[in-house]
Amino acid sequence: MAAALRRVAATLLHLLTMLRAAQATVLDINIEEWIEELADVTMPTAFFPLTIADGELLRDAYLDFAAGGEADAGIAAGVVALAARMQAVLETVAPAGCGEPVFVKTSCRSAKDAPTSQKRFDDKFKAAAAAKNDASDNALIGCLLEAGLETMKSFSAAESLELFVKSERVYQDMLLALQQPQRWKQNIAVYIRIPAQL
């Protein structure tokens, strides 16, 4: 029995070591780590630096959203204040009133899992489906993808953060980064998507 417990403990220790190494690797490939080397072949990007307190706010805002019910007033006020600070960075990429949306992501990933939780996703889907005038499964899947992409576009920091606080991906990114505060270097990356020329 003791030998079996030692083997289980050794296996668990090995798995924990592998998990920590994998987590460190994720932080090693954040956009800030490679953007300068690939600046000539990637979209111009502006960065809004997040503090650890901002990361905690985004984590808590997602947990508040996932719990359902009435939003916590303190968290909601914190998100509004974060959006106010972030807006100036968005405007360096797409000046207010220019009509160009921006795309945003954390240092690691985008909030591409959040669009379906947005009212505007439903509106965009219905508009795309009506314009297609084709109710086939393939056409409707195309409309879903189009609506998702359109919903990822933001015209303000408030719209961007509305996606972030409803994204499990952003939550996981913040959780991972908060577990390694000695390596904290998280940003919100802001860019205008330039369509690929095929």
Which two structure tokens, joined as six digits, stand for 16?
Answer: 């924990």
pLDDT band at 198 (very low <50, low <70, confident <90, very high): very low
Look at residues 83, 149, 140 and name the one whose alpha carbon lies nearest to residue 121: 149
> Which ranges of the chain would DSSP assign to H, the alpha helix?
2-28, 31-34, 52-67, 73-93, 119-132, 137-152, 157-164, 168-178
Gyration radius from the chain CA atoms: 20
> Residue 193 pLDDT > 50, yes or no?
yes
pLDDT digits (tens, 9 = 90+) for 148-178: 788 788 889 999 999 999 999 999 999 999 9
Classify residue 120 by its DSSP letter: H
Mean pLDDT of 15-24: 64
Question: Average of pLDDT values for 181-191?
Answer: 92
pLDDT for 108 equals: 85
Positive/negative CA dihedral, 112, 116, 118, 119: positive
65-100 confidence digits (pLDDT tens): 999 878 899 999 999 999 999 999 999 988 777 778
pTM for the model stands at 0.77
Helix axes of 168-178 and 52-67: crossing angle, nearest 10 degrees: 140
What does the pLDDT look like over 27-48, one tens digit per residue? 777 888 888 888 888 788 899 9
* C-alpha distances out from residue 47 to 88, 143, 189, Å: 11, 31, 5
